[in-house]
Amino acid sequence: MNRKLITLSNVAILLVLPVAALAFNPGGVPNAAPNLTINQLVDVVFSILWPIVVAFAIIMFILAAFLFMTAQGDPVKLQQARSAVIWGVVGVAVALLAFSIPFVIRNTIGQGI
C-alpha cells in the first residue's frame, strides 16, 4: 500500500509540474536588442569565446612543457609530452579555422567585415 501511495504521489507531482511552470508569465524578454543582427550576434559570441580558447591553448602548452620537464628521459613520458604538443597545435589550428569561417563567409557573400 505504501509503494502505491508513493508512486501515485510521484505521478501526480510529475503531472502538475508543467502546469505550475506554465502558470506564470514572466513578461517580455529582458534586455532584448531589437536591432541585433545575425552578424552582430556571431561577433558577440566569438568575442566571448576567443579569450577562453586562447587561455585553453596557453594552459595546454604549459602542461606539455611540464610533461617534457618531468619526463626525465623516459621514452613513454616523452611520447606523451610530444602528443600533448601535437594536439595543442592541432587545437590551435582548428580554433583559428573555426574563428575565421564567419569572416570568409561574410567576404564571400559581400557584406565585408
Copy the grid coordinates of residue 110: 559581400
Alpha helices in 1-113 (DSSP H): 2-22, 38-71, 75-109
Q: Examine residue 3 and state whether it is found in any structural domain, yes or no.
A: no
Q: Examine residue 46 and state whether it is found in any structural domain, yes or no.
A: yes
Under DSSP, the state recorded for 33 is -
CB-CB contact of 81 with 64 (8 Å) = yes
Q: Minimal CA–CA distance to 111: which of 42, 18, 13?
A: 42
Question: What range does the domain containing 78 cover?
Answer: 30-109
Q: Examine residue 85 and state whether it is found in any structural domain, yes or no.
A: yes
> What global pTM score does this model have?
0.59
Position 39 scores a pLDDT of 78
Q: Which residues contact 49 (CB under 8 A, 6 or more apart)?
A: 99
Number of domains within the chain: 1
> What pLDDT, in 10s, does the model give residues 21-40?
666 666 676 676 778 787 78
**pLDDT above 80 (res 112):** no
Q: Examine residue 56 and state whether it is found in any structural domain, yes or no.
A: yes
